[in-house]
Amino acid sequence: MKTVPIIDLHTAASMVKDGDTLLQGGFGMTGNPVHLMHALAEIGTKNLTFIGNNTGEAGLGGGRLLRNGQLKKMIGSFFTSNPDAVKAAQNGDVAYELLPQGTLAEAIRAGGAGIGGFYTPTSAGTIIAEGRETKILDGVEQVFIKSIRGNVAFIRAWRADTAGNLQYRMTENNFNKAMATAADLVIAEVEEIVPVGEIAPEFIHTQGCYVDYLVEAKITLEDLGSSASVSSSKKVDESRMNMAKRALAELKKGDVVNLGIGIPTLVADLITEEHGIILHTENGMLGVGPVPTDGGGAMDYPVNAGKIPVTALKGSSYFDSADSFAMIRGGHIDVAIMGGLEVDEAANLANWAVPGKPLLGVGGAMDLAKGAKRLIITMTHTNPDGSSKIVPSCVLPLTAKGVVSMIITDLAVFAYPDGKLTLIELMPNATLEDVTAKTSASFINAV
């Protein structure tokens, strides 16, 4: 059995050279090699191409490199969680490439597997696909994505043995497993290094043949950013809760369900074990339970796609982001519930970008919109200025075409029987007159 060198943070960070492409594991700050990133920030290596789901948080992880001016390009899925990254991209200070989260994960996995690229229906017909090769395969428009590799990968694991075998903890797997396969040089930051044999073979998630160096570094609450702790108090207005309750009524026992951020997350707090619903989160977990009530954070609990600590129900499981999106694209998610900015008469969805606004991240929305068997949108019926969100044709950048099954707003419930936008129900205290006046799209009234 080989022995992987154990080195200090400064030595590890010095192995990244000016102009390198750096892969960084983590989902938010969960499973993030934050100590390696901060050591690299101290050295000041420049002109880096940074690849990760998100560029850390403001001044934390990749966010510290960004503030230092060390990044020439960012490739990721969700920059919105770091205002500095959004500003740098929109001002043209740093070049960027935005990819759907599942596309990013699969591109890295493909790079590590020696595959040059792949076709995916995710992002077809959207601005994300502009300039990319497309083909119709089995009657479905698909977009070609080139695989991704890096010069160096910084990853984070919970435990390592001296042969470089790695074990991840809860949702800390995320992008780390794929990134460990997709770089010329892989450095793993770990909580604990143990002798060979102390990690049982069935608990080894990344094999030592992928790992070149180990660094031992302990995670603290300060390293976890916004996921460090969670409040047990939450005030929710009645109309939002009504939408969540109505969405829950659409779910049946045994359904595998993914919940987006915003109003959909309220559904999780209503689900009990008696419902028999299996919640999926795209950063690598099945069997998501409610938010913990003891104030604990990501040191103690897994986190969901909103980077919020959650509990794990009986029978839950963890996996990496590439496997998670294989579940989504492979049609193994029964229902996705997500928010919306616009939905139109043709069941098109726009929910990830508003031109001129500080939003820059598609996350898993495009994958889920295309891959889920059924898509339910929960949103307020109108914008703050009173304009309708249910429109004749989407004006905002599309998430996906022809994918919406149901719309639940604070005023009404719409569906698409026979492909036609149809009002099927009024929400509490709403009137047909209200709905008609506040809906710019044409619809069939079946109430």
**Tokens 């290596």 -> residue:** 45
Nearest of 25, 87, 27, 14 to residue 50 by alpha carbon: 25
Instruction: Give the whole-angstrom CA distance, residue 98 versus residue 79.
Output: 9
Active site residues: 282
Helix (H, G, I), strand (E, B) or coil at 328: helix
Instruction: Give the whole-angstrom CA distance, residue 208 versus residue 426.
Output: 58
Instruction: Give the whole-angstrom CA distance, residue 340 versus residue 7.
Output: 47
Q: Tokens representing 89?
A: 């991209």
Q: Which residues contact 254 (CB under 8 A, 6 or more apart)?
A: 276, 277, 278
Q: Tokens representing 49?
A: 């191409």
Decide the pairing of beta strands 285-288 and 278-281. Answer: antiparallel
Helix (H, G, I), strand (E, B) or coil at 281: strand
**CA pseudo-torsion sign 241, 242, 243, 247:** positive
> DSSP string spanning 98-144?
E--HHHHHHHHHHHHTT--EEEESTTTTSGGGTTS-EEEETTEEEEE
